Each structure stands twice: as structure tokens, then as C-alpha cells.
Chains A and B, each alone.
Chain A
Amino acid sequence: MKKVDKAILKDTANKLLFDLNDESYDILLDELNFIVAEMDKASSFTELSNISPMVFPYEIEGQLKEDVAITPLSREEVLKNASDIQDGQIRIPKVIK
């Protein structure tokens, strides 16, 4: 069975660009250990070997949209909710690649 530890959970959280408090990591560890154990039980289901992973709740087909541009948001609307604006653009700390 898969081993879960706090370091990997912290790494996972940090890759999602947030951190949790210590207590949360403890709870998270319990939660994931439970999940891993439950999913491990499913390994006995032979039916799983010939079933596809499900994405959509039922079979569904999409449609293509004609290539017609519509009036975009006004610049005011684009920027209205941003907390830091400069020269009609949204300002963020300098990005260093």
C-alpha cells in the first residue's frame, strides 16, 4: 500500500501555492491514509480492469462554435476588480524567470 507522509503533503500543498497549519497536515494525513486504504480495497474488483475512466456523467457530445468575435469586455471591466493597476495593465511583483 502507498505510504503517505507529511513531507509529501506539504510539497503537494506548496505546489498548489498555499500552505496549511500543522494541525491540518495531521488531519490530512489521516484523511489520505483512509482514502488510500479504501482505494486499495478496490484492487480486488476484477471489473475495473475492463472499464474506462469516467469523465462525463453520461455520454455527451459537444458542438463547435462559429469563429465570430463579439465585443470584448471594456478595459474598465477588465481592470475593475484588480487591486493594483498601472498603465491599463494589472501590476504584479516583478516576475523573474
Chain B
Amino acid sequence: MNNYLDMTILEIHEALLNNKVTPLELVKIALSRAKQDTNNAFEYISEKEALEMVAHLDEAKKNNLLWGIPFVLKDNFSTKDIPTTGSSNILNGYKPVFNSEVYQRLIDQGAILIGKTTLDELGMGGTGSSGHLGKTFNPWDKKHQHQVGGSSCGSASATCSGIVPLGIGSDTGDSVRKPASNAGLVGFKPTWGLISRYGLIPFAQSLDHVAYFTRSVKDSALVLDILQGRDEKDATSTSKTLVNHLDNITSNINGKRIAVIDEILESVNNQTIKGTFLNTLDALKAKGAIINHVSLDKKICDLIYPTYIILSGAESSSNNANLNGISFGSRIDGKTYEEMVKNTRTTGFSEKSKRRMTIGGFVLRKENYDELYVKAQKIRHLIVNKVNEILKDNDIIYLPASSDIAPIFDDVEKPILSNKQTVADNHLVLGNFAGLPSLTLPIGFDKGLPFGANFMGKAFDEITVLDFSLALEDITGLKNLQPKENK
């Protein structure tokens, strides 16, 4: 019975319907695995709340695909009466008085929250090490040397190690899709505006997306069907007519056009990744897809990451201005209002987060505004136009998700930008710039660690992204991956 949690959501749902397992049994296993977790995935294990919820599950909702399914939530989603810290000391002790829309929709379905997971502080980072609980580890690496990546490190880790089949995260640069590659998971970031951000602690509102980890493409489709759609409380959420993805997903990609951006592919360092990627490309071609090699000016490619750091830094400097210890969170006293807030913020934020916000404050200074901030906004526009042009002639953009397998933790503080990074390390942010649906799924292993590839489609064309992903999953057979020791 122990291995039900190692299955996909659809398989667990089947087992629940056939009474082979009960929600209570599932929750108990999930909680026990969470408590034994050695990867530092959890901010808070919601044992009491989960047992309470499972006791009140409505049998009439049994047909809901997420009914009785345990899941975890990145700790930047607000949960009523449950601590929500964003993995930041400045929010220690904060218990929201409301639920984020995503959490509400999940529990309305009968899904059971097992815990809140670690992140890079307030979503600002990609290493899974800047949160106030320190490093979160990659379950594929028992030696705890390799990152699982961030910022949604805890949800990636918990989904990977079989604690839950669904981990909710958020993705501002690549915070779900990069860890998905590192952890052998399906990581999906649908179009900006398709899933409500209400109750998500913002990092950079024009780039923030709700995103999530599953262990199969179909699971990813079914979760989208539950989370998608208009929420009056989020003015940016879409009013478009919705597609049911699970019902409509097919692996038929015959005649569909794939664009591969050569400059990005070429910058992939790891030859195993490159080789595997090219093999999948052949396989997709064999399934009837048309491959187009396209170009994105190298100079533009080099600007992707600095532009991202400028824009996200600027927005974060504003978004985090409410973290002052006055109405919520951890206050450090001072003699005056200003001194108190300064004490609170100086000690409450990590040095890394403060650096990113300072970059934001710097580019917004009057004397830098046009030359740095507005220029970055224009570069974003230019890049988005180029990407959309590519997608005008193609159904999808397909690339390796990362230039290498999960990197090793760096123990010295280093600049977040440098010449050493390649565009393939950061290209997923294109999906955030343009708000496009983007999905990472595993395609292979190197040195015992998984790596993934990424599909990026047109805005609100999630179904094409899922179709390609399903086709690729069929090709690789890499589905429901978990490090052996859990099996």
C-alpha cells in the first residue's frame, strides 16, 4: 500500500475510486514521508490541518480528480491561519487571514495540503539556498551537493521524492521550469493571466506566474483544468473561454511546426544534454513534426538576463515595501518609525534579496530611469516581438531547459550575474517576458541526474504545449520519475 504516492495523480485517483486506498491512508503516508524528509523541503508540515481536512472530506466529491490527493504549496501562497513566510525571516510568525485563490480552488476540489515548502527568499533566486531555512536538496543526490534549483525548491523536492504527486510553485524567471529539469519532473507555467495570482506574495508582478510540478504530462493537464480561469480578485486574470485540457490532450503532432533557436541550443555546455535533445528532435520529426531552425541575435540573447534582473529587481523593490514589521511579520524595534522599519528590513531580508532590491532601486533612480529601467522595458518588448514572430510561423519553440544538469551548491556569495552564464542557463525567462505557456519535462540522465527539455507555445495555447509534451513523454518513456530509494 505504501507505494500509492509513487503513482501519478490519475493512477491514485483510480485507486481511490476503487477503494483500494483511502484519503486518510494517503495523507498518513504523505505526512510520514514529509516528516522523514531529509532534503529540507518543508517550511511547515500541516499535519493537524491535513488530518482535519481529510476527516471532513465530502464523499460526494469523490469523482473530482484531486479529491483526496495530497499536495504541497510553496510558502509564498497565502493560507488562512497557516504560517506563510515566503522563506523570509521578515515574515516569521505571519498567519494570513485569507486563502490564496489557487489554494482555495485546490481544497474546494478535496485536495489535501500536506505542507508549505521552502523557496529562495520571497522567490528571489534560482539556487534553492537563499531561504531562511538554508539549502533545499535535490533528492537525486544523496550527498546533497547538487541543487534542486529554485526558487520553488521545496515543492520540486517534495514532488520528486514522492511525498506528494503535486507541488504548487511560482515562476518569475524559471522558478518551476528549471527545478523541474534538475529533478526530473514536469514543470508547467501556463500563460500569464490564466491562473489567478491572488494571495501569491508577489516578487515581480509583470513576470510572476503560478506554476506547478507533477510527475506526468496528463497530471499537468488536469491540474490546469482546476486552476485556470477568471478570478474577480485578480484584475489581470483572463476572461477568455476555457478549454478542458485533459479531455482534449492528444499526442498527435503530425504536421505541427517546431522552432529550435540555434543560438540557445549552441550555448548548451553539456554534450549529453545536447545529444539527447537532438535525438528527441529526430523522434518528434518521426512523429510528423516539422523542424525549423531559427535564429535570435546573439546580442539580444546576452541581454535577456540583465534585462530580467533589472525589471524583476525594480518591481520587487516596490512589492516588498509592505514588509515593514508594522501590521504583520517580525518587527525589530527602533526609536522612530524609520529606525524601526530599517532595523526590521535590514535583519529580516537576506543579503542576496537586499542586493536584488537595491539593483531595482538603483535602476529606478531619476538619473538612471531612462538609461536602465526604460531601456530594459524596451529590450523586453523587442525580445517579446522576436519570440512572437518565431511563433507566428511555428506552433512551438523547443529547447533544452538548461545548459547542464543540476549545478553544485556554491558556498561563497557570488554576483548573480556574470560572464560565465550562458543564454541556455536563462532562456526560460523568455516565457515570463512574453507570458507564454511553457513546460519542462525530463528527457534524460547524466551522471545519475535528470535533465529536461522545454516547450514554449503561443499565449493561451496550452493545449499545443501539452500535446507536444505528451508526444515527447511517449517517446522518452520518462514518466513518474523518482530516485530509487523511495521505490
Contacts and interface: CB of A to CB of B under 8 A. Distances in A.
B430 to A, nearest CB: 11
Contacts of A55: 206, 377
B303 A16 contact: no
B375 A48 contact: yes
Given A19-B342, A20-B354, A93-B339, A73 B97 contact: yes
A41 B299 contact: yes
Nearest to A82: B327
A21 interface: yes
Nearest to B339: A93
A34 to B, nearest CB: 5
A80 B239 contact: no
Contacts of B415: 27, 30-31, 34
Contacts of A63: 235, 239
Given A27-B413, A53-B378, A54-B378, A13 B306 contact: no
Given A51-B382, A57-B433, A73-B97, A28 B361 contact: no
Interface in A34-73: 34-36, 38-39, 41-42, 44-45, 47-48, 51-58, 60, 62-63, 65, 73
B450 interface: no
A87 to B, nearest CB: 16
Contacts of A36: 372
B328 A32 contact: no
B354 A24 contact: yes
Contacts of B359: 28, 31-32, 35
A81 B329 contact: yes
Contacts of B374: 53
A24 B355 contact: yes
Interface string B300-342: 1011001001100000010001001111111101111111111
B97 A80 contact: yes
Contact of A51 (B335, B341, B378): B378
A13 B326 contact: no
Interface string B351-366: 1001101110111010
Interface in A2-40: 2, 4, 8-9, 12-21, 23-24, 27-28, 30-32, 34-36, 38-39
B378 A48 contact: yes
Contacts of A52: 378, 381
A57 B303 contact: no
A39 B372 contact: yes
A12 B361 contact: yes
A12 B413 contact: no
A10 to B, nearest CB: 9
Contact of A18 (B303, B346, B372, B375): B346
A38 B302 contact: yes
A20 B358 contact: yes
Given A34-B306, A57-B434, A81 B94 contact: yes
Contacts of B376: 39
Contacts, number: 183
B457 to A, nearest CB: 13
A66 to B, nearest CB: 10
A62 to B, nearest CB: 5
Interface residues of B, number: 79
Contacts of B146: none
Interface in B205-228: 206-207
B432 interface: yes
Nearest to A40: B371
Contacts of A60: 193, 236
Given A56-B206, A81-B94, A93-B337, A34 B342 contact: no
A53 B381 contact: yes
B203 interface: no
A54 to B, nearest CB: 4
Given A17-B324, A54-B380, A39 B351 contact: no
Nearest to A35: B306
Given A41-B299, A60-B193, A53 B377 contact: yes
B48 interface: no
A83 interface: yes
A52 to B, nearest CB: 6
A90 B327 contact: yes
B357 A35 contact: no
B448 to A, nearest CB: 33
Top 6 A-B pairs ranked by shortest CB distance?
A: A57-B435, A53-B377, A81-B328, A54-B381, A18-B345, A38-B306
Interface of A: 2, 4, 8-9, 12-21, 23-24, 27-28, 30-32, 34-36, 38-39, 41-42, 44-45, 47-48, 51-58, 60, 62-63, 65, 73, 77-78, 80-84, 90, 92-96
Given A13-B358, A24-B355, A57-B436, 18 more contacts: A2-B372, A9-B358, A9-B362, A16-B317, A17-B324, A17-B345, A19-B342, A34-B415, A35-B417, A41-B303, A47-B382, A53-B378, A58-B459, A65-B232, A80-B95, A84-B331, A90-B326, A93-B333
12 contacts: A2-B372, A17-B345, A19-B342, A35-B306, A39-B371, A45-B379, A52-B378, A53-B381, A78-B327, A93-B335, A95-B336, A96-B336
